[in-house]
C-alpha cells in the first residue's frame, strides 16, 4: 500500500473512533459532569491506542464490533489518566492537547470525578448486553484492567511520583515506563488480537511488538519534551526536566536515546516478522511512533 492509502485508513479509523466516543460519552451526566468528560476525551489526541486495537484486530481478522468497543475503552482509560496526571497533586499541568487542562477549566473536584467516570465507562463499554460474546468481554476486561492498574499504568505513575529528584538506573527507568506508558499501548495491541484467533505464536509476537513500541513511544516522548516547544506538542514542554524527573534523555543523553528508540523499532519489526500474520498496518504504525514530531 502507498503512504496515502495508509493515511486514508488511519483517518477513516480515527473518524470511526471519534464517532463512537461521541456516542458513548454522555453529554447529560449530572451537574456538568458530562461536559467535563467530553472536554477531556473528544476532539483531540493522537488516538494511537484505539488505532492499534483496530489494526491488530484486522491482522487476526477478528470481531470488529468488539474491537471498536475496545478502542473506545482504551482511549477512555488513557484520557482519564491524563486528567488525573495533570492535577495539582500529581504533575500540576496547565496545558493538554493544546487547551487548558480539565482541572483548570472545570475545577479540581470536577476533574477528579470526570476521570473516575471515564474509567468506569470504559468497562461499561466493554460489556454490552448483546453483540459481543461474554467470554470475549471477560478477556478484554481483564486485559484492560491489568494494564491500567498496579501492574501497569497506575503502578508506573506511583513509581514516577516517588522518583522525583532521584537518579534511576536504566533498568529502573525502563520498568517504570513499561508500566506507566508501555502497558496500555501493549494492551491495545493485545485487545485487538484477542478479538480473533492469532494462535500462540502470533499472540506472543504481537505481545513483543506491543512491548517494544510501548517503550519506544515513551523514549520518543522524552526526546520531544527536550526538542520541541509547547505549541507543537500541545502540552507543556520541558516539564519533566523542570520537575527534576528522570527521563531517557537525562539517563542516556539525547543521541543515545534516539539510538535506543531505533533499536526498539527494530525489535518491534522483528516481532511482526515472527507473527505469521498480515501486519502491514501495525508495521506502518510502528514507524509513525518512532518518527513522530509531536
Do 186 and 53 meet the contact criterion of CB atoms below 8 Å apart? no
Question: Which pLDDT score is estimated for 167?
Answer: 84
Other residues' Cβ atoms within 10 Å of the Cβ of residue 1: 11
All three cell numbers of 190, joined, read 493485545
pLDDT along the chain (294 residues), means of 10: 82 96 96 97 92 98 98 98 95 91 97 98 98 98 98 96 88 94 98 98 98 96 83 62 78 92 97 96 95 80
Residue 139 burial (CB < 10 Å; 0-12/13-18/19+)?
A: middle
Could you tell me which residues come within 8 angstroms of residue 257 by beta carbon, excluding any fewer than 6 positions away?
219, 222, 223, 248, 249
CA–CA separation, 112 vs 40, rounded Å? 11
Question: Which pLDDT score is estimated for 227?
Answer: 85
Do 211 and 182 meet the contact criterion of CB atoms below 8 Å apart? yes
The 8-class DSSP code of residue 95 comes to: E
CA–CA separation, 202 vs 186, rounded Å? 14
Question: Which pLDDT score is estimated for 243?
Answer: 66
CA–CA separation, 123 vs 137, rounded Å? 9
Question: Which pLDDT score is estimated for 225?
Answer: 86
Show the domains of the chain with their CATH numbers. Answer: 3-291 (1.10.600.10)
Distances (CA, A) of 208 to 113, 212, 268: 35, 6, 7
Do 193 and 56 meet the contact criterion of CB atoms below 8 Å apart? yes
DSSP string, 149-193: STTTHHHHHHHHHHTTT----HHHHHHHHIIIIIHHHHHHHHHHH
Phi, psi of 247 (to 5 degrees): -135, 170
Among 244, 281, 288, 287, residue whose Cα is nearest residue 53 = 281
Question: Which pLDDT score is estimated for 242?
Answer: 62
Do 218 and 182 meet the contact criterion of CB atoms below 8 Å apart? yes
Question: Which pLDDT score is estimated for 177?
Answer: 94
Question: Which pLDDT score is estimated for 240?
Answer: 67
DSSP string, 187-239: HHHHHHHHTS--HHHHHHHHHHHHHHHHHHHHHHHHHHHHHS-HHHHSS-TTH
Question: Which pLDDT score is estimated for 4?
Answer: 82
Question: Which pLDDT score is estimated for 278?
Answer: 93
pTM here? 0.94
Amino acid at each position: 500500500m502507498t503512504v496515502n492509502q495508509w493515511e486514508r485508513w488511519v483517518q477513516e479509523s480515527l473518524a470511526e473512533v471519534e464517532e463512537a466516543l461521541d456516542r458513548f460519552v454522555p453529554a447529560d451526566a449530572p451537574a456538568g459532569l458530562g461536559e467535563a468528560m467530553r472536554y477531556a476525551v473528544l476532539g483531540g489526541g493522537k488516538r494511537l491506542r484505539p488505532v492499534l486495537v483496530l489494526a491488530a484486530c484486522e491482522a487476526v481478522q477478528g470481531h470488529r464490533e468488539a474491537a471498536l468497543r475496545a478502542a473506545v475503552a482504551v482511549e477512555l482509560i488513557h484520557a482519564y489518566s491524563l486528567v488525573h496526571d495533570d492535577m495539582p497533586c500529581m504533575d500540576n499541568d496547565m496545558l493538554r492537547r493544546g487547551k487548558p487542562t480539565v482541572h483548570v477549566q472545570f475545577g479540581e473536584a470536577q476533574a477528579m470525578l470526570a476521570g473516575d467516570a471515564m474509567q468506569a465507562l470504559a468497562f461499561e463499554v466493554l460489556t454490552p448486553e448483546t453483540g459481543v460474546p461474554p467470554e470475549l468481554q471477560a478477556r478484554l476486561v481483564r486485559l484492560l484492567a491489568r494494564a491500567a492498574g498496579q501492574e501497569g499504568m497506575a503502578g508506573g505513575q506511583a513509581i514516577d511520583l516517588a522518583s522525583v529528584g532521584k537518579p534511576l538506573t536504566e533498568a529502573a527507568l525502563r520498568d517504570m515506563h513499561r508500566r506507566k506508558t508501555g502497558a496500555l499501548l501493549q494492551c491495545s495491541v493485545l485487545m485487538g488480537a484477542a478479538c480473533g484467533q492469532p494462535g500462540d505464536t502470533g499472540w506472543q509476537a504481537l505481545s513483543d511488538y506491543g512491548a517494544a513500541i510501548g517503550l519506544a513511544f515513551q523514549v520518543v516522548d522524552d526526546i520531544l519534551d527536550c526538542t520541541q516547544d509547547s505549541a507543537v506538542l500541545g502540552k507543556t514542554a520541558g516539564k519533566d526536566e523542570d520537575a527534576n524527573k528522570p527521563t531517557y534523555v537525562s539517563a542516556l543523553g539525547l543521541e543515545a536515546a534516539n539510538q535506543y528508540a531505533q533499536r526498539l523499532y527494530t525489535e518491534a519489526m522483528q516481532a511482526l516478522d515472527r507473527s505469521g500474520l498480515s501486519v502491514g498496518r501495525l508495521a506502518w504504525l510502528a514507524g509513525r511512533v518512532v518518527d513522530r514530531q509531536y
